[in-house]
Amino acid sequence: MSVLRQFSDAVPSSKDPTVQRATTNAVDWALAHGLVMKPAAAAIASAPSTDVANHGGLAQHAPFALFPTPFPKACFNQVVDLQPVLNQLFDRIARDHDFLARCIESVVTVDEFTAQLYKVYQQTRAKPSSQSITLGLHRSDYLLHQPHDSNDLSIYQVEFNTISTSFAGLAPVTTQLHRYLRENPAYAKLKAPQIAVHQTEGSLPNNTATAYLVDGLAKAWQLYGCQSAVVVMAVQVGERNVFDQLRLTHDLRQRYGITMVRQTLAELRQGAHLDPITQALVLNGTEVAVVYYRTCYAPADYASPADWETRLMVEQSKAIKAPTVAYQLAGTKKVQQVLTEPSVLERFIPNADDCDHVRACFTGLYPLDNSPLGLDAVRRALEAPEGYVMKPQREGGGNNVYGKDIPVFLQGLPVEEREAYILMDLIKPPVISNLLVHQGLAQKGEVISELGIYGVWLSDHDHVYLNESAGHILRTKVASSNEGGIAAGFGAIDSPALV
C-alpha cells in the first residue's frame, strides 16, 4: 500500500468545535509572528480611508494548511540531495551561449516576451562584461506522481525557477507554526491520521530557507567589495507578498548590517544611473552591489519600453544580478524540454550518476514544433489530451492549458505559434484530506501538494563560493483547481511531515 493511502480519509469537519479552537489559535499565532500578506485590492478599497492612506496598515494572515501534509521521506531527501547538481547545471547552461541560443532562437519568433529577454541578452553580450560574479537564488518545484492503478510513488520536476523565487521568507515561519500547533492542547485533541505523524519527533524537517538566501545575498555583497554599497530588491507595483520579502530585508540588516532597498522598475529608472567609467550602478548617490529580482518574470512586469531599458541598464552594470538575463532564459520551458533529449545532460554534467539522478526526476516533455517529435506530440495532445498540460515559456502561473482544454486551444493556435509552448506529461499526484485556512476560516477539502526546494549558487567563473540546497516550501491546493497561487487565493503554505 502507498505510504500516503492512510491519509486519504477525511479529516475532521471545519465545524468541529475543536477544529475551530485550533484554527483560532493558529490564526492568532500567524498574525503575531508575521505569517501575513497584504489583502487583495477589493479589501483595501472597502477599508477606511485612513488605513488605505497609511498603505502599510492592512494585513491578513497568509493562507496556510492546518495540518502539515504527509510526504514520503525518501522522495523529500532525493530532491534535497539533488539541488546542488541542479544549481550547477543551470549555471553552466547560462554560460553556454551556443546551447542557449539554439534553444531560445526557436522561440523568439513566436513569443514576444522571450524575444525581448533575448534582445537584452544579446545587447549585454555585445559589450565587455563588467561583472563575472553570478548569484543564483533558485527553486526547483516537484509533484509526487501516483498512477491511478498503482501504489508506487515517484517524484517529478514541474519546473526550475531561476527568477523571483518567492516564499523563502514565510515558509520557515509556517514550519514554526506547525511546531507550535503540535504542542497546543486543542490541536492535540483532533482525531486525524495527520496528527499522529505530526506528533512524531523529527517529522517536520528544519527549514532555514530565509537564512540561506540571505547568506547568499550577503556573500555576494562582500565579494562586490564596496562597504557603502546597498542591495536592491526590484519589486512589482502593488506587491501583496511584501512581508515575505521584508523578512529577507530585515534578516540581511540584522545579521550582516547590509541595507536592502526596495525599488520598482520606475523608481530605478528615475533614481539610478551607470557610472560612465566603472559601470557601477548608482542609486540616488549610493553604489549598488546586488540587484535581486522579485519582478521581471512576466510581460505585465514591463509596463513600457522604458522598463525594458531599465532592465538593460541593470544588466550592463557592474552590480551582481540575481538573476542575470542569461539565467532567466536558462529557466524557460524550452530549455527544460531540451534537457530531456538524449545526451543533452552530459554536455553539462560529467558525472554519469548525477545525470541518472537528474533524469529520474524528469517527466515526459515534448516540443510542439514541426519536427517529427513535435508533430507526434501535437497528434497525441489532440487524441488523448487528458494526459497532458501545455506550458508557455514564462513564469508566474495562470498560463498553462490542461487536459480537455488543449484541443480547442491548440487548434485555434496558428501553427507557427505552437513553438511558444511545450507539451508535458500530466503528473498525477496523490490526493489526501486537509484543512486549508483562508481569511480566518478552515475549509476541508481534498488536496494535492507541490514541494519546492530552494538553492543558492554563487560563483566567479569556475570558482564556486556557494552551492547549497537551501530549505523548502510545500504549497498545497484544492485538488480540483489547476491554479495554485497562494497570493491569488488558490493555495496555502504548508509544511511536509515526513513519513
| Residue-wise pLDDT tens digits, 446-457 | 999 999 999 999
386 is catalytic: no
How much is the pLDDT for 44?
Answer: 59
Cα atoms in the Cβ-side hemisphere of radius 13 Å centred on 103: 27
Which residue in the list 34, 271, 364, 396 is annotated as catalytic? 396
C-alpha 95/C-alpha 75 separation (Å) is 30
Which residue in the list 139, 219, 294, 311 is annotated as catalytic? 139
Provide, rounded to the nearest whole percent, the portion of the chain with pLDDT above 70: 90
- State mean pLDDT over 318-335: 97
pTM of the model: 0.94
Exposed/middle/buried for residue 25 (C-beta within 10 Å: 0-12, 13-18, 19+): middle
Q: How far is CA 279 from CA 84, 127, 282, 289, in A?
A: 32, 11, 9, 12
475 is catalytic: yes
Of 9-23, 50-64, 68-82, 165-179, where does mean pLDDT reach its minimum? 50-64
Quick one: which H or E segment has residue 280?
none
Q: Which residues pair with 77 in a beta bridge?
A: none
Residue 286, pLDDT > 70, answer yes
Which residue in the list 239, 267, 315, 395 is annotated as catalytic? 395
Question: Dihedral of CA 476/479/485/489: which sign?
Answer: negative
Residues flagged as binding site for Mg(2+): 159, 161, 395
How much is the pLDDT for 1?
Answer: 46
Orientation angle between helical segments 17-32 and 171-182, nearest 10 degrees = 140
- State mean pLDDT over 291-300: 96
The answer to whether 453 and 205 are in contact (CB under 8 A) is no
Residue 138, pLDDT > 90, answer yes
315 is catalytic: no
How much is the pLDDT for 152?
Answer: 85
Which residue in the list 475, 484, 491, 495 is annotated as catalytic? 475
Q: Which of 226, 119, 251, 100 is nearest to 162 (CA)?
A: 100
Q: How far is CA 412 from CA 75, 281, 333, 398, 407, in A?
A: 39, 45, 21, 19, 8
Which residue in the list 240, 294, 333, 418 is annotated as catalytic? 333
Residues flagged as binding site: 139, 159, 161, 245, 333, 391-400, 402, 424-427, 450, 475, 477, 483
How much is the pLDDT for 442?
Answer: 94
Which residue in the list 87, 140, 154, 166 is annotated as catalytic? 166
Residues flagged as binding site for substrate: 139, 245, 450, 475
Residue 232, pLDDT > 50, answer yes
pLDDT-based confidence at 53, cuts 50/70/90?
very low
Task: Give every CB contact of residue 382 below 8 A, 6+ residues apart in sequence.
Answer: 406, 407, 410, 411
139 is catalytic: yes
159 is catalytic: yes
The answer to whether 65 and 435 are in contact (CB under 8 A) is yes
Task: Give every CB contact of residue 265 below 8 A, 6+ residues apart in sequence.
Answer: 234, 295, 296, 301, 302, 303, 307, 310, 311
Residues flagged as binding site for ATP: 159, 333, 391-400, 402, 424-427, 477, 483
